[in-house]
Amino acid sequence: MQRKLWNKDFILLLQGNAISDIGDLLYSVAIGYWVYEKTGSSALMGVMTSIAMFVTMFLSPFAGSIVDKLSRRFVIVGMDSLRGLIMLALGVLAWTDSLSVPVVLLAAFAASLCSVFFNPAVNTLMIDLIPHDDMVRGQSVFSASNALINLVGKAFSGVLVAFLGVPLIVVLNGASYLISAVSEMFIRVPRTVQQGEKVSVKGVLADFGKAMKAIFSDRCLKLFIPFALLLNLLAAGPLSLMLPFCMEKGFTMDMYGYLLSVEVAGSLLCVLLLGIFKLKPRTRFALMAIGFIGSQALCVLAFLMTDFLPMAVLLFLSALLNAAGNSIFNAALMLALPEENRGAILGFIEAASVGGCALSAVIYGLLGEIFPLYLVFAVGSLISLPFALYLFSHRETKDFILTH
């Protein structure tokens, strides 16, 4: 464990992540616009968004176990390099006007296979690089970097797509991954407890069983994982379908970019404040509960708005509260994980969270073909409220935050 937050290795990891985030942001907007322009289908956009999520859902528990046995530097650098090459190839196809929807879906699948190994390697490494008493601040700094990039990028994403074109943006995304891989080569990565053990099907399945046992023997984890799946299923769909939602409302591409930016601005403000101030355990719990519940209540109101300005204000406040809840909960969760099979357990948690998001994207997309998206979004957020109220009024949730 490092003695100070701003150590060289943390800065290198932060820098590499920031560079690839820039490319990813522009790519997601560009390719989403390309697919929707070609097909006009919100359902297909939901499927495209959910591919990576389904891969994560089914493979994360096994990938986490494999990462526990490998050099995390090798995994991080290797996966960023592979994603860079995939995006460069996709950019060449777009440049020669050979790009098709099936190719885009195949590239999304290939890139998601890389991500499913990359994410647990980075998440477990962060636990080793950030001092444990600074975990909320450290994660907030990481989130703030991502939020700042999103704030600036999404505000101008529509303009950049129109000015640069989809092919060049895809190529830039590939280049950003390769630049990240170079910077990540210089991170000093501590060995894990299982590093060097032989990777085998039998060993991975054994780790899978140990992780399952650890989760179901922990009174908090066995409560959190099903609720992570359920709450993401009900509330995450609008995130992947904001473009067709804005078009349905009659907003322009510029307004779509600005709407995304105000959400990111809310998240950024929150994580900056959390990065500055240390909160007492009871304050953290109260802020987390208010954050999760309040964000969904504000979303219901925002989706029912017809004017851009009040919708933007409500989404800003919702994002601020949601970031507070997630930052506090995730920091506590990281500290609670046992070191010996940390990757495998993280894989289960990510599978539940991302699996809910994936199913949500598909369901919301299909419902959006039948009903107005604003109504689908509002009803989904409204249904999530009683489940959030139950989770954060539960004694186990309060004890968990107060003791980690």
pLDDT digits (tens, 9 = 90+) for 322-376: 888 887 777 777 666 666 666 667 777 777 777 777 778 778 878 888 888 888 8
Of 351, 60, 62, 59, nearest to 205 by C-alpha is 62
Residue 15 lies in a domain: yes
Residue 1 lies in a domain: no
**Amino acid code (one letter) for 111:** A
Rounded to whole angstroms, the Cα distance separating 301 from 268 reads 22
pTM for the whole structure: 0.62
Token readout for 200 is 């085998």
Structural domain boundaries, residue 102:
8-403
CATH number of the domain encompassing residue 337: 1.20.1250.20
330 C-beta neighbours (distance < 10 Å), count: 16
Q: Where are the alpha helices (DSSP H) in 218-341?
A: 221-235, 237-240, 242-249, 253-276, 281-304, 308-336
Residue 316 lies in a domain: yes
Contact 348, 224 (CB under 8 A): no
Contact 290, 385 (CB under 8 A): no
The pLDDT of residue 214: 74
Say how many domains are in the chain: 1
Q: Apex CA 391: angle with CA 385 and CA 395, to 5°?
A: 145
The pLDDT of residue 90: 85
* Exposure string over 238-271, b if 16+ CB within 10 A, otherwise e: bbbbbbbbbbebebebebbbbbbbbbbbbbbbbb
13-22, 75-84, 177-186: segment of lowest average pLDDT: 13-22
Mean pLDDT computed over every residue of the chain: 78
Contact 218, 94 (CB under 8 A): no
Residue 2 lies in a domain: no
Residue 3 lies in a domain: no
Phi, psi of 236 (to 5 degrees): -90, -20
394 C-beta neighbours (distance < 10 Å), count: 15
Rounded to whole angstroms, the Cα distance separating 166 from 101 reads 14
Q: Cβ neighbours of residue 121 under 8 Å, at least 6 residues apart?
A: 67, 72, 75, 76, 79, 343
Residue 193 pLDDT exceeds 60: yes
Tokens 């995006």 belong to which residue? 87
Rounded to whole angstroms, the Cα distance separating 345 from 8 reads 28
Tokens 């956009």 belong to which residue? 45
Residue 25 lies in a domain: yes
**382 against 326, higher pLDDT:** 382
**Amino acid code (one letter) for 373:** L
The pLDDT of residue 146: 67
